[in-house]
Structure 1
Amino acid sequence: MNTGAPSSPTRAQGSALPGNTIAITGLGMVSAIGSDVASSCAAARAGLTRWRELDIQVTDEDTLEAVPLKGQEVSSLTLGFEGFARWLRLGDAALRDLMEHSGLERPAFAQTGIHLQLPGTWLEEVHIQGSLLDRLPEGERERVRRGVDAERTEKREQLTRRFLPELLALNQLPLAPRTQVYAFGGAATFTQVLARAVEALRSRTLERCIVGGIDSWVDGETLTQAYEMGLLRTPNRPVGRFPGEAAAFVLLERLDSARARGARVEALLGPVASTVEAGHRFSGRSLTGAALFEAITTCFPEGARQAEGAELSIVNLNGDESRSREYGYALVRLQEAGLPTSSRRWYVPEHFGEIGAATGAVAICMGVRGFIRRYARSPSILVSLLDDELHRGAFLLRDIPWRQDEAGVTAPHGRQS
C-alpha cells in the first residue's frame, strides 16, 4: 500500500544533487473543494467540484428567467467577509496547513522569509477605463484619473503595511520585516515571485522561503468587474471563466539546508522563466503565443532531450477563447522547434475556478501531490501560466529521484503499490 509519505534523501542519493538545488519541503492550501492541501488535491484528482450560486443574476435569453451566476466559494471561511478580511481568512487557513505539513519549528524562523502574491489592479484599471474614463470629456479625464490613482496608491500602501504582519501574527510566525516581500498581479506574475525567492535562497540571503498566492474572483467588487467586462461564463455566453477563490503556500529551501534540519523533501523546483507579451487581453493586439513559447523553451536549456521527461503539463486554461487560442499557438511553435508537447494536461481552473494570483502556488500543490501519490506518472511536470495581463511564465517541477515504496525499492513512475 502506498501511504503517500514523502521521503528524505539517503547520503548516497542526496549527494548526487548539488546543495543549491531548490527543494519543496512543505505545502499548504485551502479551496472550495478542500480545507487543506491533501483534500483539495484529492478532490481535484477525483473530479469533484462545489458550485455555489453567486449574488449576480442574469436573464437567460431562452427562458427569460433570472439565473444566478455560479462560482466556487470557500463559504465556510469567507461568507460575510470582503476584500482584505477575505484574503486574510483564506491566507490564514493555507498558512496553518503549511506549518502543520512542513514541520517548520521556531528555531528556523530567523532564517525564513515569505514572498506573497496578491491580486493586482489590472482588472480594476481596465474596468474603470472602459466604464468611466473613456466616457468623460478629455479635459476632465486626467483629473479623475489622478484621483483614482491616488486612492489606489493609498490602498496599496495600507495593504502592504498591514497584511503580512497580521497574517504572520495569526500563525505566530515572527519573520523579520526585511524578509517579507509582496508582489501584485495575475497568474503569470507568480513566476517572478518564484524567481526572486530562488535568488534569495541561492545567494544565502535566506535559508528557506514561504512562497504563495491568495485571490478571490467571487469577492463582490472583483466579481462585478469581471462580469461587466464579459469575462465570465453565463447562460447567454458559452465561453468564459467561472470565478473561484483559493490560497496556497509552498516552502522552498536549498537541498543542503533541508538536509541540515532533517526536512522531508517532497519535490524539486527546476528552471523558472518569466516573459512579457506585446499586448494584454483588451489591448486589441493579437496574442501569438510567442511569449509563452519563449518562457517554456527557457525551462529546457538542453532542448528536446531534456523536455522528453515532462510527460505532464499543468496549464491555467479557464474557458476563455482568447487564452485557449494563445496556448494553441504556443503548442504549434513548440512542435516546430522540435520540442515535445505533452498530451496529458491538468487545468487548474477546471477544479478550482479562476483563482488569479493563487494559480501558480495551487499548480505546485497539484503537481507535488501527484508525485507523492504516484498518479502524476511523469518524472517532471511543466507548469505554463497565461494571463490577462502582459506577463507569461513557466517552470518545471521534478520528482525526487529517491522516492521509495514501503519495501525500500525505488518504484517506477506511475506504479502504485
Structure 2
Amino acid sequence: MTPDPDAVADCVLATFRQLPDKRKPRPQSDGAREWVPLAGIVLADKDGKLSCVSLGTGMKCLPSNKLPLAHGNALHDWHAEVLAIRAFNRFLLDELLLLLLTPPHLPSLYLREVPSAERTLAQPQPFTLRDDIRIYMYCSEAPCGDASMELTMAAQEDATPWTSPVPTVTSAATTTTTTTLPPSQETQVPTALRGRTHFAHLGAVRCKPSRPDAPPTLSKSCTDKLALSQATSLLSSLTSLLVSPRNAYLHTLVLPASQHVPAACTRAFSSAGRMAPVAARAGDWGGGYAWRAFAVLGTAREFAWSRRMVGSSVRAASSNISAVWTPGWQETVIGGVLQGRRQFDARGASRVCRGAMWKVAVRVAAAVGMPALMQVLGKRAYKDVKESEALGARRRVKGDVKREALKGWVENRGDDGFGLGT
C-alpha cells in the first residue's frame, strides 16, 4: 500500500524543521530572502510506518576543472537529490557498523544479513534491505534536467520552443571516443546539453549547472541520475558491494503539485518515454539488478524555503549552504566541503564524499570478515575498486542504460586516482 504523498512530504519537512538554524537559509542584509531545494529519503515498513533516514539541501556542483584537486575529499555535486541519496548510502553503511560492531548488536529495522546458503556468485553481498521495506523520496523542486523543462519554458517571457538543432558529436558506432572516420563508418550521436540551453529539446541528457554564466561541469542532471537509478538502484558502487541492490529501488517520487508535470515525468523517467529500450530488456542483467520504474505523485505540501515561497515583492537569492542529515549525524556543506574548511582541505571532507564512503565501507567489510571483499576494497586507488570485476554487473547495467536510453551521457572523470591514505 502506497502511503499518502502528503505524509511522505510531511515526514521530510518535519525532519528539516528540527535542524538548527545554522543549517538553513539565512536572512541577507539587503533584504533578499534565500531559498534552497530540499530532498529526503523515507522508508516505510510493513505496517506503513514512515521514517526519514536522510535529507539534503543544495543546488551547486564542482566545476570540471576542479575535479583533479578533490582527491576524494570534496563533493562533485551537492544538489539536494544527490546529497539525499549519498546520505542514504552512508546511513546504510552506518547501520551495518551498528549491527556488527556496537553491543548489544540489535537487529536493524531496515537491513538483514543474507545467510551464506542464500548467497550466489551473482549476488554475493552479505546484506540486503528487508523485503517489506519500501523507499520513497520527496523533492521540493522538480529535479533539474528533463523533468523540469516544461517548467523552464513556462517561466520564459516568450515560451515559444526554440528550433535550434540538438548538438551532436561524430563518433564510431563501436566506440565512445570522438574520431575521424569515412562517412560510411561514422554516426551522429547526441551529446549532453548544458543546463537549460536548447530547452525545447526534450528527452535529452543534460549537465549541470543550469546557469549559462557558471563554470561548466560534467555532472549529469538530477533527472538523469534518478532515471539511471531505476536500473542500478539507489545504491552507490561501494554500498552495492555489501548490500544487494535487489530491494534498494525507489518506489515513489513525491513532488509538490506546482512542480509535477506528468508529461515531463513520463517522458523523463518511464518505459513510456525515453527509458523504453532498457525497460524492455531488463531481464538480461541478473546480479539483483532489474528495471524498477518509480511512480511520481504530487503533494499539496510546499517547502518553506522553496523559491515559490519567497514572494514576488522580495528578491530571491540562492543559498550556498547545504544541509546533510541522517538519524546518526548532520553537517553543513559549503563549496563541497564542511563549512569553515578550505575547499580541498582533507579535514573538510564530508561524511558522504568518496573518500569517507570508501573508508567506512572498508570498516564494514573488515567486520563482516570476507577476505574477497577486503581484497576488492583494499585496492591501491579508488578507480581500481570501481573497475574491479566485483562491480562488473553494475557497470554492464549502467553501460546498457547510457547506450540505449540516456544517450549523450559523458563520464565525469578526474577524481578517481586517490587512495585510502590520501
**TM-score interval, smaller chain:** under 0.3
Normalized against structure 1, the TM-score is what? Answer: 0.27
Higher helix share: 1
